[in-house]
Chain A
């Protein structure tokens, strides 16, 4: 299993042809207290860089972009029920959605953990 990152502060855990996607702990700390999450519908086809989900803090709404192209096969209802989980466990339990990867070559332009750490330093 590989974990990759985007410059927009999303993480992807890749296992075979499924990518589990969330926002990083850095992203949640920048957002502040999360009060609302809107997830894509299962079955939706996402193109890389397309707005896929919405995460809202008390003050503002932010888009979460699809880091790669793929079909949404599962969404995490737990975070719509309990948005605060995004703050407490962004890198783990508070994943947003899972994609069936459309094009593995798109993974090549993402960052590894070391590069992401440098990006947010």
Chain B
């Protein structure tokens, strides 16, 4: 669990902290917050329960930001945000959201985020470790035309898994009508929430932004359903890894472009060369050149051939004997739904085809792995 803190500043707590303690959560530092890495159920069973039933996650440590144009028109907020991301934000219809990245002048990724159109403003969800820097970034570039409002008084709860819809429907009758990447303000159990049909597990599910003062009561209502268990960050990580989803600071960072990170699908044609609003985001010329000419390396899925997990930081080699490392593992661990180790890392584009055999160095041994397409476990999004 990566953490950067000075051991003197106390950790932040989410609105559900008391609940985690009451539920026997094992609390650890994460992105400056005290968060449950698991409950008594354990990482393995929490992971499997989410894929088989419904898991409830506290992700309130993440940043929630309201971006409103001073003109009052959401199109202006969208055009403004397009100056910072390679995605088409203008085309996000009201009630829909999209995955995006903040890029920098070198074409690297500052953070990845979700952007929703709530009709008269945009609603952004950013990573916990980056939220302070993201706010500075937004203010630095957009404060002339936009009002940037971090929503610090709201919790964020994820409900994920095949039973998530039926559970949520008891508290929000229209939940079954939502499809993947729908997002908007809705009353859940009478509480004014923002609901999106999305998540970070590869399963169907929802994310609920809840006013802090109502978060514990809503979480308890959801947990009272026999299909729901509380799930910690340990299982959140193994779920997203099996889903082939990037973790900022690991699979994507300042040194990776969206093309190298195999995120080209998230850059709509309108922002690419020849598109209506081509470029105009930091690092555009280099990134768009990579779209045209290819990138030297690529993020891939990896399936170790043995039972030993291959973890972040392991060097990758083209064969058992060569001394030149050709890449690196950026995420790796055990996939409970596959009952096998899985990993992601970067390889030269010429070696990125699924089925390619490479070797990961683990404890001085070269372990064979095959490049694999992601997701490792099929998504079950309700499109």
Contacts and interface: CB of A to CB of B under 8 A. Distances in A.
Contact of A33 (B1, B44, B309): B44
A25 interface: no
A33 B26 CA distance: 14
B contact face: mostly helix, strand, loop, or mixed? mixed
B249 interface: no
A56 B309 contact: yes
Contacts of A57: 43
B160 interface: no
Contact of A58 (B43, B307, B308, B363): B43
Contacts of B234: 32, 58-59
B311 A58 contact: no
Contacts of B45: 33
B308 A32 contact: no
> How many A residues are at the interface, by size bracket?
10 to 19
Contacts of B334: 35-36, 56, 58
B42 A61 contact: no
A56 B307 CA distance: 11
A32 B43 contact: yes
Interface of B: 1, 37-38, 42-45, 47, 234-235, 237-238, 307-309, 311, 333-334, 336, 341, 363
Interface of A: 32-33, 35-36, 38, 54, 56-61, 80
22 contacts: A32-B44, A32-B234, A33-B42, A33-B43, A33-B45, A35-B44, A35-B309, A35-B336, A36-B307, A36-B334, A38-B363, A56-B308, A56-B334, A58-B43, A58-B235, A58-B238, A58-B333, A58-B336, A59-B37, A59-B234, A59-B237, A61-B311
Closest 7 A-B residue pairs measured CB to CB? A33-B44, A35-B334, A58-B43, A58-B334, A33-B42, A59-B234, A32-B43
